[in-house]
Structure 1
Amino acid sequence: MKNEKAVVVFSGGQDSTTCLFWAIKNFKEVATVTFDYGQRHSAEIECARKIADELGVLFKVLDMTLINQLSANALTRDDIEVTAEEGELPSTFVPGRNLLFLSFAAVYADAIGSRHLITGVSQTDFSGYPDCRDTFIRSLNVTLNLAMDKQFIIHTPLMWLDKADVWELSDTLGALDFVQEKTLTCYNGIPSTGCGECPACQLRTDGLARYQAKKMAGANT
């Protein structure tokens, strides 16, 4: 893969930034595509832009605000509370988001001569989102290839990793401090360690604590 080009679906968060470092290690040329879908915090897009610029990779924003015209959710509406009730889809679920993002990413990849798409979805820590599951990604990969008569490969480096494992991967890639300090994962739009209270921050913080404990235990053996 080292002599090929890849496109990373990029939000500037922990997961997609870890995937970006993974892509830089594994591909000759890397581009990022970020989506403006009317998310509450435009800081997310600017964070992604700064990271891409700092790492020297191509950055492109696509307008997907039509999603905001069709559904109401906590990621695009500040009057909807972030909730995650057991047995129900989280209020942060944006219907069709990954389906549309990956489809448009494939169109963009085709335009720049790439057959590799990289996304940070995870079935282990998928937060109840059905479009983060392995079965969905595999199905979409087949559909994209049939629809466009191409041979795309969707890479999901984080699919079977929990948040502690994702931190470990970023550390292995020499990017743990970068990811910790320069990404934006918080649902309240606060970079780095975030607000510490929303589900995204809690997942991130808990994962880091578990990885640091594992790393310390390993150092003491």
Structure 2
Amino acid sequence: MKLAEDRALVLFSGGQDSATCLAWTLSRYAHVETVGFAYGQRHHVELKARLALRREIASHFQGWGAKLGEDHLVDLEALSALGETAMTGDVEFQMAESGLPNTFVPGRNLAFLVLAAALAYRRNMGTLVGGMCETDFSGYPDCRADTLEAQMQALRLGMDADFRLKTPLMHLTKGQTWEMAEAEGGTELVGLIVEHSHTCYRGDRDHRHVWGYGCGTCPACELREKGWNDYRAAPGPSA
């Protein structure tokens, strides 16, 4: 089945990475929709951040707003029911016996892609866009380019559809992701991402830092803060 190449579906969590990917996609595609997943995540506040980011981006960038279509939220609570992780339960962040951090939710990105592709198939959207990254990730095997391409090949075969997956952050550091946001939407977009996106694994929206809201001590906050500091230290228009 031939799907429309100029229609894209963004896997949109409401975090820094997916917000940057949304801007990147709106700059390149004629029609863009978003999909999020409720999987019992400890930082469920990100589900509200998704809506705030969509609203603010559409309001501040009217050209993008004209391209921004529907948002979809998919119930994937079964992921948390299969076993507790630091992303789905109130447990301390640490390394598991597998050698991976206990923030790893087995099969999460693979499940996201299956359901996003099923939605895209029905809505004639040939491109999926995700914020997966090999550079600043925590060793998650489902963030690797070879894993994602294998999954996409299975989806192409299983649905007989010409899906394409774009991962614009795959080889970027967090600092470079901030730089991409500025390149796509200037310091105005950077400010929206700082204020409205959510990354903190603990779901903390009480503590405001220069890089956004969060506890400041979980792995996600530490990575975001480091990326922000690298971005601000780099030579460029905003430095």
Q: CA RMSD in A?
A: 2.0
> Once structures 1 and 2 are overlaid, which stretch shifts more, 53-62 or 109-118?
53-62
**CA distance in structure 1 between the partners assigned to 2:5 and 2:96 by the alignment:** 45
Q: Residue 6 of structure 2 contacts residue 31 of structure 2 at CA under 8 Å; is this kept in 1?
A: yes
Structure 2 partner of 1:71: 83
In structure 2, list runs of 5 or more residues that go unmatched.
59-64, 206-211
Structure 2 partner of 1:178: 192
Q: Cα offset for 1:84?
A: 4.0
**CA distance in structure 2 between the partners assigned to 1:99 and 1:3 by the alignment:** 22
Q: How does 1:209-220 map to 2 (within 5 A)?
A: 209-215=229-235
Q: Residue 93 of structure 1 contacts residue 129 of structure 1 at CA under 8 Å; is this kept in 2?
A: yes
Would you say how many aligned residue pairs link Structure 1 and Structure 2?
A: 217
Structure 1 partner of 2:123: 112
SS, match of residue 142 in structure 1: helix
Q: Residue 127 of structure 2 contacts residue 166 of structure 2 at CA under 8 Å; is this kept in 1?
A: yes
SS, match of residue 143 in structure 1: helix
**CA distance in structure 2 between the partners assigned to 1:18 and 1:180 by the alignment:** 11
Q: Cα offset for 1:215?
A: 2.7
Q: How does 1:1-221 map to 2 (within 5 A)?
A: 4-54=6-56, 55=58, 56=65, 57=68, 58-78=70-90, 80-84=91-95, 88-174=99-185, 175-191=189-205, 192-215=212-235
Q: Residue 6 of structure 1 contacts residue 117 of structure 1 at CA under 8 Å; is this kept in 2?
A: yes
Task: Normalising by structure 2, report the TM-score.
Answer: 0.86
Task: Normalising by structure 1, report the TM-score.
Answer: 0.92
> Once structures 1 and 2 are overlaid, which stretch shifts more, 59-68 or 192-201?
192-201
**CA distance in structure 2 between the partners assigned to 1:37 and 1:4 by the alignment:** 29
1:132-166 CA-to-partner distances (Å, cap 9, x unmatched) read 00111111111110010000000000000011110
**CA distance in structure 1 between the partners assigned to 2:36 and 2:108 by the alignment:** 12
Percent identical across equivalent pairs?
Answer: 41
Q: Cα offset for 1:179?
A: 1.2
